[in-house]
Chains A and B, each alone.
Chain A
């Protein structure tokens, strides 16, 4: 099988409201950043894949406007997923494995500021039994948090500590929207407080993937090593929330098994847990113990540009490997209510 690596990662500053810039205006500096680092031009890229959602923008086919930023005319080899960009990375990884391309540009962006994110996310739910009730994203996560508390798996103090750890880690992060600890705050939907919820904001991210010797060359040009993707898999839970055991994530565990997480310990884990309580579920599913550094980037508590947050987890993990701060890292991305879909990657530096 071909070896594929992440060779560059870039992201925008994440902000509450980016009304000054359109999606493509927000995205372009990030695209140019990863291209500049690798010395590639847009026309050198073998495959381009993006993740975003029309429901955030409130406009059909909004992703086509962002395509202007990658120089898509005359036509390029390109694809789009209507979910987090981590799944766009998965598609690009498969494309590189087939040998049809040697390099891929993967990007994702989300502007939550034009709409009411909690309402917008209700539209991804089952249209027969859930969507007519407009259960918002915080409410569904709170049901999961209460189930964890009832099961004795966590308590509000531990959740506050998770938020504190993430935001402390984010204090020095140049792109974070929320930097440094903040009070747990009032209940949004109990038992979740404002401090358990991610910031709502706008941002973009991009990575460049490359195969084999191309990856080595593009990384070496930056004085860095490639972050090799040793395994990558994504799985989904049963459709109905009431069918699931909300305190567990069998889909994450299965994806991790298939990605090879459990073959050797990881030193770092970037977890996409939009709500603090979801980290409790993920840690158990991934069998992460105290030796693993969780979310050195600050995770989704530092910045949560919906549709890019998962891709950022992969990018942050890869960045640590590229600069030698990690040798084997796990990156996780999620989509949907209560960790509905989960993607797990194992990244390693050159042995």
Chain B
């Protein structure tokens, strides 16, 4: 088995969401150390509150204030906290029914070990020191030996100064990308300054870069074919906006290039010629720089332009 190519791949983004009126009131309330629920059509108080009734799907808007203490309805001991979770030391995940609520809220309970937690345990909120209007304004729950009030929760307007209208949740997932057999062969060859395509055994088309399958025949491409290095510009565009983290002066040309022997065009930047002189049919060749593992760009070969009929099927 040939060496498996892998590369780290990080997907990281701020997950930005706007809030509906009920969510906005709830999260703004947390910032002010006030927990709000919403009354559903069947009279239940839902905490954390939903914008729509879980049974009837009607809009629900009647807010009430519930307690900051409550009762554990189920729990799970987490011996090895993971990135992003509320506590860095072992803790219990808990569903907590806050006093006055009829449903439960998920969070973490800070206790020394599993022997310190059981369903029915009384707990209360430990507020985060810095609160922004997010579920993480609740740092966690801690055990609490006070009784529940049993009182009906009072109505609340949901109005606060400077309400929170959106949340931004950073999200990051780490992957190890493995491109598979065909693309690994392609990348290995490219590192040796060769471009290989793969031929479909049925329709004979040569795919560059190869992805392992012929999308017309639905079968594996199985023969490696060296293509290029020269090729023909089949179409192109002029890039006028500088991309972040890309140290290339604009305007420049990005083109589809049909390498000689390839059954479809790949794309690459064209250099060594003014952007306004690039044309369909231009003959180009790859330019390798330093120890680069792929061509930096393609430049004109100086050959006469390829006739349109020679590449029209590859546009």
Contact = CB atoms under 8 A, between A and B. Distances in A.
Contact of B78 (A71, A139, A238): A139
A73 B27 CA distance: 49
Interface string B289-304: 0000000000000000
Interface stretch (B58-66, B209-217, B236-244): B209-217
Interface stretch (A81-89, A172-180, A186-194, A262-270): A186-194
Contact of A127 (B136, B169, B182): B169
Given A32-B219, A69-B218, A128-B135, A24 B212 contact: yes
Interface residues of B, number: 66
Contacts of A65: 211
Nearest to B4: A19
Contacts of B218: 28, 31, 42, 68-72
Interface stretch (B99-107, B145-153, B249-257, B275-283): B99-107
A113 B173 CA distance: 13
Nearest to B52: A239
A299 B77 CA distance: 26
B95 A58 contact: no
B27 A128 contact: yes
Contact of A72 (B114, B182, B215): B215
B80 to A, nearest CB: 8
B85 interface: yes
Given A55-B173, A143-B75, A20 B103 contact: no
Contact of B85 (A57, A72, A135): A135
Contact of A73 (B93, B97, B216): B216
**B interface: dominant SS:** mixed
Contacts of A140: 93
Given A72-B215, A190-B79, A131 B54 contact: no
B74 A143 contact: yes
Interface stretch (A117-125, A153-161, A162-170, A218-226): A117-125
Interface residues of A, number: 64
Nearest to B55: A238
Nearest to B85: A134
Contacts of A191: 76-77
B173 A20 contact: no
Interface string B197-226: 000000000000001111111111000000
Interface of B: 1, 4, 6, 9, 11, 15, 17, 19, 23, 27, 46-48, 50, 54-55, 73-79, 82-86, 93, 95, 97, 103-108, 114, 119, 134-136, 167, 169, 171, 173-183, 211-220
Interface of A: 19-25, 28, 31-32, 42, 55, 57-59, 65, 67-74, 113-116, 118-120, 122-123, 127-136, 139-140, 142-147, 150, 187, 189-192, 238-243, 246
17 contacts: A19-B176, A20-B178, A24-B180, A67-B215, A68-B212, A68-B218, A115-B175, A119-B84, A123-B173, A128-B17, A132-B169, A143-B106, A191-B77, A238-B55, A240-B46, A241-B104, A246-B74
